[in-house]
Amino acid sequence: MRIVIDPGSAVPPYEQVRGQLAGQIGTGRLAVGTRLPAVRQLAAELGLAVNTVARAYRELEAAGLVETRGRHGTVVAPGRDDATDRLQAVAAGYAAEAVRLGVPADRAVALVRAALAAARPE
């Protein structure tokens, strides 16, 4: 697992961590059951605040990509299906394009929410 933080990026550090881990999970580079470093350990390795890494892990868990098992740590979640994997790949591409265009993360997420709302049949 390799994560690189760009301190000059407009993308917040927690989002850089989340995005890179999600990408590695989506491509299978981090297989189901792979244990992620402890929050404190990864924060120290990356030179980030513990809360920054904790937020990234929380968002990955909310997306169903990882599971936190208390003292047993955080692991890549099982049970992903083909649709989830395909959406993860599309999301990673969308995120990369948003970063390339300089669109702030909150705006990019708002655009996805609006697109989802418009796609739902009434």
Q: Per-residue pLDDT tens for 10-69?
A: 899 999 999 999 989 888 888 888 999 999 999 999 999 999 999 999 999 998 899 998
Report whether 24 contacts 30 (CB < 8 A).
yes
Q: Does residue 1 belong to any structural domain of this protein?
A: no
Q: How far is CA 25 from CA 39, 66, 89, in A?
A: 17, 9, 10
In this structure, what CATH number is given to the domain that contains residue 98?
Answer: 1.10.10.10
Q: Does residue 5 belong to any structural domain of this protein?
A: no
pLDDT at residue 81, as a whole number: 65
Q: Does residue 19 belong to any structural domain of this protein?
A: yes
Residue type, 44: A
Q: Per-residue pLDDT tens for 87-105?
A: 877 888 898 899 889 999 8
102-115 mean pLDDT:
92
Instruction: Specify whether the backbone of 60 is left (phi greater than 0), alpha (psi in -120 to 50) or beta.
Output: alpha
Q: Domain of 58? A: 13-119
Q: Does residue 8 belong to any structural domain of this protein?
A: no
pTM of the model: 0.69
pLDDT at residue 72, as a whole number: 84
Q: Does residue 4 belong to any structural domain of this protein?
A: no
Nearest residue to 104 via CA among 14, 12, 35, 17? 12
pLDDT at residue 69, as a whole number: 85
pLDDT at residue 26, as a whole number: 80
**CA–CA separation, 12 and 6 (whole Å):** 9
pLDDT at residue 79, as a whole number: 62
Residue 84, pLDDT above cutoff 80: no
Query: 20: buried, middle or exposed (CB in 10 Å: 19+, 13-18, 0-12)?
Result: middle
Q: Does residue 6 belong to any structural domain of this protein?
A: no
pLDDT at residue 80, as a whole number: 61
Count of structural domains, the chain:
1
